[in-house]
Amino acid sequence: MAEQVDSRPVVDVVPLIENQKIGRFWVLLFAVSWAVTFLDGFDLQIISFAGRYIQEAFALSNTQLGTLGTVGVVGTLLGGIAMGYVGDRVGRKPAIIVSTLGFGVFMLLFAVAQDYLQLVVLRFATGVFLGGALPLVWAVVTEFAPARLRSTSVVITMIGYSLGSASGGPISNLLIPRFGWEAVFVAGGVVSLLAAVPVALFLPESVKFLAQRDLHQHRIGAILRRALPGVTLPAGARFVVGTGGRDRAPFRPADLFRGGRLALITPLVWLAYMCSSAIVFYLAFWGPILNERIGFSVSAAATLAAWTAVAGAAGQLLIGRFIDHRGAGTIAWMPLLAVPCLMLIGLVPLNAATYVAVIILAHIFVIGGHGGIISICGIFYRPAIRANGAGWATSVAKFGAMLGPWLAGFVMDHGLDARGTFFVFGFFPVAMVVLLVVLGRVQKGLSTDADGSLQAAEPAVR
C-alpha cells in the first residue's frame, strides 16, 4: 500500500516569529517570566542576607556557612540538567510549573530546619528546583523572540532575577529583626507557591518546540493567534520549524557538540559561564557579610547589597542590545572593566564613599557580563534541544558557582581579610575576556541558517 501523503497546508512558524511586532503578548510574557525569575533570584539570594543570623543560630564556621551556600548551588547543577530534560520531553511550561512549586515547598521546609544537616539537605533540594526554572524560562522567551531581539529578550527577563536578588536586603531588614531569619524563607516559599498560578494560566508553551517535536499541533495555532493578533492561518494547518522537518530523536549530551561548530562553541560557553558564576556567586553569597566586615552596619550592608544588585540589572540592560547586533564577543568588555574595580578594592584601602562607588561599578560590570553570557547560553542549539542546551550550560557553570562561596570562606579562614578576597576573585574576569573574544569570532563565522548566527536566515518558501 502506498504511503499516505499529508495534504494539510504547511505553515513555517519561523518567519511568523521573525516578522512579529512587539505588543501586548510580550508584556504578558515578560510579566510571567519576571514573576518566576524574581522569585528565583530572591530565593537563591536570601541565604546571603540571612546567613549572618543562621551562622549565629547554629554556631557555624565561615567554611560551614560557605558550604551551605555551595550545596544549594550543587542542587541547581542537578536541577538544570534534570528539568532541562523534562522541558525538552514534555514541554517548557509544565516543567516551569513543577520547578516553581518545588522551590516554594522546600523554602518553607528550610524555615523549620532543626540542625545543620537538615539545613544542608533542604538547601540542596531547594536548589534542584531553583536551577531548573531559569533555563526553561530562557528557552521560552528565546523561542518567541525574533533574531534581532533574541539576546535582549533574555536580558530583559533576567532583570526580574536581579530585582529579586536586590529585594532580599530590604525584606530581610523588615522581617528578620521582628520575626527571625525563618520569616524570609516563609515569605519566599508562600509567594513562590502562589506564583505557579499565573504561570499555569498565562505562560504560553513554545510554538517552536511544539512544531519541531510535532506535538499538540492543535495548540500551536491558538498560541500564534495570541502572539500575532490578526494573523491568518489556514484551517487544519501543519506547523513546522524551517526546513529541518520533525525532530523527535531523544536527547543525548553528545548532541551539544555536533553540528554548527558546537564542538568549539559549547566548551567556550561553559568555561566562560563557569568563571562568571564563580565571581557572581561569591559576591551574591558573601556580599552582605563582607560589607559588614569592612565596617558597615547590618542594615547598611544589606541595603548596599540590594543597590549593587540593581546596579547589576543596569549592567545587563547596558550590554543586552549590543549582543544581538555584534555578537558574543561584545560581552568581553564587561569583565574587562570589572578587573580594575576588583583589584582596587582588594589592594587599596578605600574610605566608605569610595568603596560604595567602586563596588557598585564592579557589580555593573560583573553582573552585566554574567547576564550577557546567560543571554547566549541557549541560542546556539536547535529548538528541540534548546532547554537541554541552556540547562547543561547552567549546570556546568555551577561548578564555578560552587567554587565561589566556598573559596571565599576558605581563604578567610586561612588568614585573608574581607578586602583580600576581591583581589583573589579579580582573576576570574581575566579568563572570561579571553574566552568571550574567541567565542565572538567563532559566532561571526556561523552560516546564516545556523542557530545563533548574527543574521537571520531567509524564510523558507512553501
pLDDT digits (tens, 9 = 90+) for 205-215: 888 888 877 77
Q: Nearest Cα to 323, choosing from 428, 433, 432, 444?
A: 444
Q: What is the mean pLDDT of residues 134-154?
A: 82
User: What's the DSSP call for residue 252?
Assistant: -
Other C-beta atoms lying within 10 Å of the C-beta of residue 320 = 24
Contact 185, 45 (CB under 8 A): no
pLDDT tens track for 352-385? 889 899 999 999 999 889 888 988 887 788 777 8
- pLDDT over 90, % of the chain: 27
Confidence of residue 2 (pLDDT cuts 50, 70, 90): very low
Q: What is the mean pLDDT of residues 153-168?
A: 83
User: What pLDDT, on the 0 to 100 scale, is given for residue 460?
Assistant: 40
User: What pLDDT, on the 0 to 100 scale, is given for residue 271?
Assistant: 95
Cell, residue 346: 582588594
Element housing 10 (H / E): strand 10-12
What pTM was computed for the model?
0.74
Question: For all residues of the chain together, what is the average pLDDT?
Answer: 84
Query: Rounded to whole angstroms, how far apart are CA atoms 299 and 353?
Result: 16
One-letter amino acid at 451 equals D
Asked if CATH classification 3.20.20.60 holds for the domain at 10-444, the reply, yes or no, is no
Contact 8, 220 (CB under 8 A): no
| Lowest mean pLDDT, pick from 192-201, 223-232, 264-273, 317-326 | 317-326
Confidence of residue 323 (pLDDT cuts 50, 70, 90): confident
Where do runs of H (alpha helix) occur along 180-206? 182-202
Is the pLDDT at 427 greater than 70? The verdict is: yes
Most confident of 7-21, 311-325, 396-410: 396-410
Place of cell 520569616: 183
Q: Nearest Cα to 310, choosing from 459, 161, 435, 183?
A: 161
pLDDT tens track for 376-394? 887 788 777 877 887 788 8
Query: Rounded to whole angstroms, how far apart are CA atoms 101 and 193?
Result: 5
User: What pLDDT, on the 0 to 100 scale, is given for residue 244?
Assistant: 53
**List of residues 6+ apart from 24 with CB closer than 8 A:** 229
| Lowest mean pLDDT, pick from 203-207, 444-448, 455-459 | 455-459
